Structure 1
Amino acid sequence: MIHALVAGGGIGGLATALALARTGHRVTVLERQDAFTDIGAGIQIAPNGFHALNRLGVGRAVRDRAVLVDELRLMDATTGRELVALPVGGRYRQRFGDPYAVVHRRDLHTPLLTACRAIDAVDLVAGAGVRRYRQDAHRVTATTADGRTFSGDLLVGADGIRSTVRAQLLGDGPPRPCGHTIYRTLVPMERVPRWLRRNAVTLWAGPGWHVVHYPVAGGSCLNLAAVLDDGAAEAVSGRPAERAAVLRRFADPGPVPGALLRLGEDWRRWVLCDRDPVDVWTRGRVTLTGDAAHPMLQYAAQGACQALEDAVVLGDLLADAPTTDVPQRLERYNAARRERTGRVQRLSREMGARLYHPAGEDARARDALLRPLDEDALHHRVAWLHGAPVRADARGGGG
């Protein structure tokens, strides 16, 4: 039996713990916060995410909490026209085997946490943020911010985009602000006019900005996010933003985005960050998953899904591993995942630039590219991402 240490008790960390424990290993999860909670707003889960959740045994629990949307819509905020719509109902679900859904973060985190708590082999330790580690040929020891030490056969850094495990492992500095500011809020659905309600993920694309909205929390709230390409260069995370300031920054958004923005009250602000893809995020008995390994912008809506895939692949590769084989198995995990996750990182950047924020001639070129795409063509284009099986085969991109 392997004893794994997991730094981080968010979605990726709990999924990793669950994947390892379900294959017979012991896991200690070290969470920086004083409680195992997950803040934030909405998350989109494509079928590849549900494939992973099914493998972890929590797919049904997440689906029961989710809103299964009918379509993904891209709208031109300037003209009010629909540019393209990707149906994700019957034919899509039949092709990819699972739905496309939206959830509040807690509705994904809670089933993972409940499943971990039900397994004796998982030890959840709050208030234990990993500050540093040391390793030798046989063991790895993590030291927390308050001086405690925990030893195991491997350490998984699932501690997010500002990972302390990555900082020591790769030493590649802080993540890169991409120059986009995002404002997020949740609006009780009873405050949303009926003409603005739709069972869809809808994105309004403007020149240098966009607004996206969809129902979460069983349809009781509208998740609302507004993104501005403002050249922001300083990382900001979850800072409160005044409603009047948000409305000033989106001064001429058009009738529908304007009506949506005026609904928001309790706004918070982030500056979006990511990193360039790297080939190596494993050394010895230490590896990374999720945003610690391959942080990506939100524009492909795949951050959580890729972390879930990481967990399943890592669990598969360590399922029958003796402790002596851990370094080699971690290298295989890294090799299995780097091509696919790197492709998603690059896609996420491209979508922000080419689909959501172009103006003038670039916007007309986007419209011409999207106009001929019918339902079959759209399903074909997303098949590599939404329908890829979760497997530990490096030749298949690990996805």
Structure 2
Amino acid sequence: MSDYPSSTDVLVVGGGMAGLAGALVLRENGAAVTLVEVAPEFGEIGAGLQMAPNASRALKRWGLLEKALEIGVQPKHLVFRDAVSGEELTRQSLGGEFEQRYGAPYVVIHRSDLHRILLEACQEAGVTLVNDVRVQRVETEGNKARAYTSAGEVFEADAILAADGLKSTLRSTISTDSPVPSAYVAYRGTVPITAETPATDLEDVIVYLGPNCHLVQYPLRKGKLLNTVAVFKSPSFERGEEQYGGVDELEDAYRDCVPAVQNALKNLSTAMRWPMYDRDPIENWVTGRMTLIGDSAHPMLQYLAQGACQALEDAAVLQDVTLEHVFTPEGVDSGAWPAAFKEFNDTRAGRTARVQRTARIWGESWHVSGVARILRNMLFKSRGDGNFEYNDWLYGKGEPGVPADARRAAVPMLESGAPD
């Protein structure tokens, strides 16, 4: 630890998407930033990630969009199908008018690739990066905040960003809540695209909706990999088992689906599954000179594919409010961090709470059966391609991610983005 500063302008706790983005923007604003990560090395596990325009606008703002486009894929359409009948329910073209309306493209990218882009940007900007540090608690005293680690070290900073994820330790300083299990789990997999890979839909994001299950496929890494995600209601997870020893639950969940869906299950890695949690929204993310950011503030279910997107929105808003309050043209006002964090909280909490709640509703609408499935399919089919009514609230321009021309609430079942 002696090689790293124990005192810094900003300490960021957590090296995921939110932590890296927050560290980058505050370093760009002029802060000395130290980021500490509990893992021995930086990296991200998982597979594909969807960057909707509200997130790719942030990447564009930071000069990182071209790097994402170099390794990612710009799908042509987002297509929803019924997993039992195979019929198409609705589609959204993602180029042309869509990109022009929202000011940035829709990009699918491997999670590890986006993480690497943000990590390299932090390194180039001069963020101090430290691994093997477990922060257990934060206290504010006067004009300083202090982070206490499990190894007995103390980091002192003018401000602290708690970006320690869904199971955040530092959130407990503010809230006594716990992660909420959804009863659903995900299996993921990426496989090389070969001449034998069915050519259908390799340029699109495809979503199959089934009773108590869905499946998503799209290409990654310039069309070299095919990403597959299967999400289903798990009896073992409902019993409290995060992992499960067999694939019988997976196979049983998709037994009534069309062959295209059942064949896609072969692409999954079944060595690990991801139990799906979120948390109930909370109004306050701030205590003293510490604020929550990203999943520590607003973990959400995957159905809108907005977890990472909202983390990037957080960072973009944080950059703006700290330029207004702390890093002003008149000079640096370190006493203004509480005011900056309050404005950040006020700007973001309502927005992210809506995304969290809508993700829950959206997931429920996907997994219905019987008459509810018939009605859902009718509603989806009534929407034509190019209808932006249900996307504007989520993707619209203005402040990062905040729509300028779509303030009213949309029909909840179709307050849609795209799925993970």
Q: Same fold (TM over 0.5)?
A: yes
Change (3 A) 1:391 1:244: closer
Q: What is the CA distance between 1:245 and its match in structure 2?
A: 5.8
Aligned position for 1:351: 362
Aligned position for 1:387: 396
Aligned position for 2:3: none
State how far apart, in whole Å, the 2-side matches of 1:388 and 1:294 are: 21
1:361 maps to which of 350, 371, 375: 371
What does 1:249-398 align with in structure 2 at a 5 Å threshold? 249-319=253-323, 320-321=325-326, 322-354=333-365, 356-377=366-387, 379-391=388-400
TM-score of the two chains, using structure 1 as the length reference: 0.92
Deviations 1:186-242 (A, max 9, x none): 1221286224452111111111111111111222211111111235346777x5865
Q: What is the CA distance between 1:329 and its match in structure 2?
A: 1.1
- Whether the aligned pair in 2 keeps the contact of 1:272 and 1:297 (CA below 8 Å) is yes
Deviations 1:246-268 (A, max 9, x none): 33443332211011112334542
1:74 maps to which of 80, 89, 96: 80
What does 1:204-223 align with in structure 2 at a 5 Å threshold? 204-223=208-227
- Whether the aligned pair in 1 keeps the contact of 2:78 and 2:92 (CA below 8 Å) is yes
Deviations 1:280-326 (A, max 9, x none): 11111010111100110000011111000101111211125111111
1:52 equivalent in alignment to 2:58: yes
Aligned position for 1:139: 144
CA RMSD of aligned residues (A): 2.4
State how far apart, in whole Å, the 1-side matches of 2:223 and 2:244 are: 25
Aligned position for 1:41: 47
Change (3 A) 1:32 1:99: same
Deviations 1:18-77 (A, max 9, x none): 010111111110101001111111110001101111222212211221110011111001
Aligned position for 1:160: 165
Q: Residue type matched to 1:385 in 2?
A: L
Q: Secondary structure at the match of 1:127?
A: coil
TM-score of the two chains, using structure 2 as the length reference: 0.88
Change (3 A) 1:397 1:168: farther
What does 1:161-240 align with in structure 2 at a 5 Å threshold? 161-172=166-177, 174-190=178-194, 193-230=197-234, 232-233=237-238
Q: Residue type matched to 1:386 in 2?
A: Y
Change (3 A) 1:302 1:192: farther
- Whether the aligned pair in 2 keeps the contact of 1:186 and 1:266 (CA below 8 Å) is no
Q: Residue type matched to 1:82 in 2?
A: E
Q: What is the CA distance between 1:96 and its match in structure 2?
A: 1.2
State how far apart, in whole Å, the 2-side matches of 1:90 and 1:14 are: 31
Unaligned runs of 5+ in 1: none
- Whether the aligned pair in 2 keeps the contact of 1:157 and 1:287 (CA below 8 Å) is yes
Aligned position for 2:329: none
State how far apart, in whole Å, the 1-side matches of 2:196 and 2:188 are: 16
Q: Residue type matched to 1:157 in 2?
A: A
Q: What is the CA distance between 1:389 and its match in structure 2?
A: 2.9
Q: Secondary structure at the match of 1:381?
A: coil
Change (3 A) 1:220 1:242: farther
State how far apart, in whole Å, the 2-side matches of 1:395 and 1:169 are: 32
State how far apart, in whole Å, the 2-side matches of 1:30 and 1:366 are: 46
Using the TM superposition, name which of 265-274 and 180-189 deviates more: 265-274
- Whether the aligned pair in 2 keeps the contact of 1:42 and 1:103 (CA below 8 Å) is yes
Change (3 A) 1:170 1:269: same
- Whether the aligned pair in 2 keeps the contact of 1:314 and 1:333 (CA below 8 Å) is yes
State how far apart, in whole Å, the 2-side matches of 1:394 and 1:156 are: 26
1:9 equivalent in alignment to 2:15: yes
Q: Residue type matched to 2:354 in 1?
A: R
Deviations 1:341-365 (A, max 9, x none): 11110110011001x1011111111
Change (3 A) 1:161 1:191: farther
Change (3 A) 1:32 1:2: closer
Q: Residue type matched to 1:133 in 2?
A: V
State how far apart, in whole Å, the 1-side matches of 2:398 and 2:57 are: 7
State how far apart, in whole Å, the 2-side matches of 1:196 and 1:281 are: 45
